[in-house]
């Protein structure tokens, strides 16, 4: 039980804190200590960060992780409260453009020296690196990567459709969905009904149709691109996807329907790589499904990046500063990234980690290869639905339009495109 472990760890941590001042004085040198907050408390996420904490302790550190379970916003509320009280954690979970936004409200740690010593910059995707050094200096470190547009195919649904070819383009995808429908798969698309779920459908469609249009419209908010034909085409594709989904899902989480997906009652799922970990935790086998990069009309993989990261907040205490250095070294360490990703089902941030060994799944190897290919063809872009492309306010304004469009079939693709451009204008 990860929760029990965390609690025990917390307890051990707090006892250690009480003992620490005397201990440090006696030693004369600071024993590394790290206060950290994240939302990872249970499941594979909880297990992974607990394992990271154990490594931290093995190196002689004191690990004080306070998980804030629930949505990311709840973790952020705690972080906000601690920052306003002048007592930020030494390190906290934060990702994407929020790193830049939050770094303006409290001083962060300059990690340039420790990053340079590890030679980390060479092995990180350039767009990703930029997010973690908003003012030119490294202040945060990415920990693991997911792609939000992986395509999961149910083996049983493929059998029903008498198909064995993995779709590459959206046209292939639409063909396969039709085949599944006529082969007796009730809902060719498996889905949940949450906001990010709907957002992922759109970003996968747009980036698959044109990564360049995605970069211009969604990442750079270019006005002309936002009114371009690719946006309308993406909305039209989303309508097709929505028509193949089970309308009864309401506001359910995607994991509610995994059994129906594996059973072949639902056919394909466009979901982040984390679904692999969820499927595995739910007791399903790798033989039940196939993982492939999401559809891409130019046949080269498009990778919608989502990366979890830690931001480091400035503290005066020498033991916390020592803890921050140790933590940074651990997070960049290929062995630690391997351990972490093998627990959660993500892929390492470092592009030089070898995934051929045991402990990696076929899905992870496919994902890592997709990332490498996508970087090579400049088709690795930042996920909008998971708050990597824009700050939360802009993302929420875009998803408002998308989620309404997914659920309201009377809205035309052209109307949706106009509304998206207006929403962006309003949130600027």
Partner 1 sequence: MIWVPLLLSAAHLISFSLWTIWISFTPSTLIPVSGWVGLRNYSAVLASRNWQIAFDNLLLFGGAFVVLSAATGLILAILLDQRIRGENVLRSIFLYPLAVSFVVTGTVWSWLLNPGLGIQKLVHDLGWTSFRFDWLIDRDMAIWTIVIAAIWQSSGFAMALFLAGLRSVDADIIKAAQIDGAGPVRIYRRIILPSLWPITITVAVIQLQFAISTFDLVRALTNGGPGIATQLPALVVYDLMFQRSLLGRGAAAAVLMLLILLAVLLPYAAWRYIQRRRAAHA
**Alpha carbon distance 65, 52 (integer Å):** 10
- Residue 4 contacts partner 1 per CB under 8 A: no
Largest distance between two CA atoms of the chain: 75
- Alpha carbon 291 to its chain centroid, in Å, reads 17
Nearer to partner 1, 104 or 316 (CB): 104
The C-alpha angle with vertex 158 and arms to 153 and 159, in degrees rounded to 5, equals: 145
- Residue 393 contacts partner 1 per CB under 8 A: yes
Nearer to partner 1, 330 or 398 (CB): 398
Q: How far is the CB of 89 from partner 1 (least distance, A)?
A: 16
Structure tokens given for 361: 């799944």
Containing 33, the helix (H) or strand (E) segment is strand 33-38
**Alpha carbon distance 398, 46 (integer Å):** 31
Stretch that binds partner 1, among 78-86, 173-181, 289-297, 360-368 (CB under 8 A): 78-86
Q: How far is the CB of 91 from partner 1 (least distance, A)?
A: 18
Characterize 249-282 residue by residue with b for buried, 16 or more Cβ atoms within 10 angstroms of its Cβ, and e for exposed: beeeebbebbebbbebbbbbbbbbbbbbbbbeee
Among 11, 15, 19, 84, binds partner 1 (CB under 8 A): 84
- Residue 400 contacts partner 1 per CB under 8 A: yes
Among 248, 299, 356, 428, binds partner 1 (CB under 8 A): 248
Identify the residue whose tokens are 């003992």: 19
Q: How far is the CB of 350 from partner 1 (least distance, A)?
A: 31
- Residue 100 contacts partner 1 per CB under 8 A: no
**Alpha carbon distance 221, 210 (integer Å):** 15
Nearer to partner 1, 7 or 253 (CB): 253
Stretch that binds partner 1, among 45-53, 246-254, 343-351, 371-379 (CB under 8 A): 246-254
- Residue 193 contacts partner 1 per CB under 8 A: yes
Q: How far is the CB of 104 from partner 1 (least distance, A)?
A: 8
- Side-chain-side CA neighbours of residue 34 (13 Å): 29
Residues that bind partner 1 (CB under 8 A): 73, 76-77, 80, 83-84, 101-102, 104-105, 193-194, 246-252, 391-393, 396-397, 400, 403-408, 423, 426
């Amino acid at each position: 039980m990860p929760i029990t472990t965390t609690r025990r760890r917390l307890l051990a941590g707090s006892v250690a804190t009480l003992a620490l001042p005397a201990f440090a004085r006696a030693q004369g040198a600071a024993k590394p200590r790290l206060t950290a907050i994240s939302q990872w408390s249970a499941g594979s996420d909880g297990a992974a960060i607990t394992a990271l904490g154990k490594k931290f302790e093995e190196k002689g550190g004191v690990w004080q992780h306070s998980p804030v379970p629930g949505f990311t916003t709840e973790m952020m509320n705690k972080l906000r409260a601690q920052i306003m009280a002048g007592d930020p954690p030494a390190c906290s979970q934060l990702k994407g453009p929020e790193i830049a936004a939050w770094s303006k409200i409290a001083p962060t740690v300059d990690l340039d020296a420790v990053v340079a010593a590890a030679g980390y910059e060479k092995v990180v995707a350039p767009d990703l690196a930029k997010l973690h050094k908003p003012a030119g200096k490294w202040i945060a470190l990415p920990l693991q990567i997911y792609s939000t547009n992986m395509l999961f195919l149910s083996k049983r649904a493929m059998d029903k459709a008498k198909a064995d070819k993995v779709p590459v383009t959206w046209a292939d995808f639409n063909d396969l969905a039709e085949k599944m429908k006529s082969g007796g798969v009730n809902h060719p698309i498996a889905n949940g009904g949450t906001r990010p779920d709907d957002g992922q459908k759109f970003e996968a469609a747009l980036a698959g149709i044109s990564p360049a249009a995605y970069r211009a419209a969604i990442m750079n908010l270019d006005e002309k691109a936002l009114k371009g034909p690719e946006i309308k085409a993406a909305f039209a594709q989303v309508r097709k996807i929505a028509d193949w989904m089970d309308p009864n899902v309401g506001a359910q989480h995607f994991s509610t329907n995994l059994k129906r997906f594996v059973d072949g009652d639902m056919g394909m799922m466009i979901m982040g790589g984390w679904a692999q970990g969820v499927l595995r935790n739910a007791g399903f086998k790798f033989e039940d499904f196939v993982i492939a990069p999401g559809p891409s009309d130019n046949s080269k993989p498009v990778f919608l990046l989502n990366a979890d990261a830690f931001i480091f907040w400035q503290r005066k205490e020498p033991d916390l500063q020592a803890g921050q250095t140790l933590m940074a070294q651990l997070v960049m360490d290929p062995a630690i990234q391997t351990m972490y990703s093998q627990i959660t089902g993500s892929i390492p941030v470092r592009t030089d980690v070898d995934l051929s060994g045991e402990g990696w799944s076929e899905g992870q190897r496919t994902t890592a290869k997709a990332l490498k290919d996508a970087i090579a063809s400049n088709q690795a872009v930042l996920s909008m639905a998971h708050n990597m492309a824009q700050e939360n306010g802009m993302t929420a304004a875009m998803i408002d339009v998308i989620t309404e469009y997914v659920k309201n079939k009377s809205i035309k693709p052209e109307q949706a495109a106009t509304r998206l451009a207006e929403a962006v204008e309003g949130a600027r």
